[in-house]
A and B are shown apart, each in its own frame.
Chain A
Amino acid sequence: METDNKSIEDIRTIRKIMEESSRFLSLSGLSGVFAGVTAIAGALVAYFFILNNGSIHFDEYFRSHLAKETIMLRWQLMADAAVVLALSVLFALYFSFKKAKRDGVNFWTPVSKRLLINLLIPLVTGGVFILVLIFQNHIQLIVTCFLIFYGLALVNAGKFTFDEVFYLGILEIITGLICALLPGWSLIFWIIGFGVLHIIYGLVMFRKYEK
């Protein structure tokens, strides 16, 4: 009986160590919710302030005008997106630090570094590609690219953290592909992909792992 208990204990320890050393589990659901809210706020700012209550039609307007005339708008939209990105990343890091501290685990481990590298390769590729699209006046597929590259980044990083991140990535890719089929609806898909999906994901994760 004693050897039996010891074996169960051993197997439990092995499982725990294997999981902790190969997956980054300090990702907080709250960062998802926050990123979603920020993304929606960013989209509303774009619609009401930058695109003049929607009277500037995102896609057609840019295509029918010379790049020079719309340069100010382009910079404003990019600045808007950059603020959304920066806030989301900052809060994701903040919530993860906090969760790691609460669970008494290290934040910078070999696996969190691997997670970051795997996330950044598709993400930076996408970012650079999108900049190229913007300046070469291929505006219509920008939001699609945001969603697809972000989805690929999540799929890639999903191996090193919760499985749900992988599935969130798949959903982002699908949203991106549908977005490509419906030109002119970019802002709506931005809100679905970066807003709604993040908030749902965040709430699910928070209820599942952090309650």
Chain B
Amino acid sequence: MKDLISGINKVFENRVRLGIMSVLMVNDSYDFNNLKKTLNVTDGNLASHLKALEEKGMIKVNKRFIGRKPNTNYSVTIKGIADFKQHLKALENLIKDQ
């Protein structure tokens, strides 16, 4: 049992963070506003979870300007891909084990 649970990554345990990772796993990059729309969360909530994922090295942030408007793009890092896959595997194992 211990081995199975060890794959569960605390960083991804929150629903919003799971959502962010799910979107970024299947898209090269996604911007803040579209993430907000897709996940249906508030600005502050999304921003704090993005910050947390960034600090853990799971995602990278790319800020740029489109015309005069700032646009913040997010994409997943290699570490993020590996860790998230491991987390998924652990979730699946938990279910199978039951």
Chain B interface bracket (under 10, 10 to 19, 20 to 34, 35 or more) = 20 to 34
Q: Which of B15, B22, B26, B37 contacts A109 (CB 8 A)?
A: B37
Interface size on A, residues (CB 8 A): 18
Whether the Cβ atoms of B26 and A4 lie closer than 8 Å is: no
Known: A18-B25, A18-B26. A13 touches B18 (CB 8 A): yes
Whether the Cβ atoms of A109 and B38 lie closer than 8 Å is: yes
A14 at the A/B interface (Cβ < 8 Å)?
yes
Whether the Cβ atoms of B22 and A7 lie closer than 8 Å is: no
Stretch at the interface among B49-57, B60-68, B88-96: B88-96
Within 8 A of B (CB), among A109-123: 109-111
| Complex interface: chain B residues within 8 A of A14 (CB) | 18, 21-22, 88
Encode B4-32 as 1/0 by CB contact (under 8 A) with A. 00000000000100110111011100110
Whether the Cβ atoms of B38 and A11 lie closer than 8 Å is: no
Number of A-B contacts (CB under 8 A): 54
Name the prevailing secondary structure of the A interface residues.
helix
Known: A22-B27, A106-B37. A17 touches B22 (CB 8 A): yes
Within 8 A of A (CB), among B60-98: 88, 91-92, 94-95, 98
| Complex interface: chain B residues within 8 A of A22 (CB) | 26-27
B34 at the A/B interface (Cβ < 8 Å)?
yes
B47 at the A/B interface (Cβ < 8 Å)?
no
Whether the Cβ atoms of B27 and A21 lie closer than 8 Å is: yes
A14 and B15 alpha carbons, distance in the complex (Å):
9
Q: Which of B15, B19, B30, B95 contacts A11 (CB 8 A)?
A: B95
A106 and B39 alpha carbons, distance in the complex (Å):
12
A60 at the A/B interface (Cβ < 8 Å)?
no
Which residues does B use to contact A, with CB under 8 Å?
Answer: 15, 18-19, 21-23, 25-27, 30-31, 34, 37-39, 88, 91-92, 94-95, 98
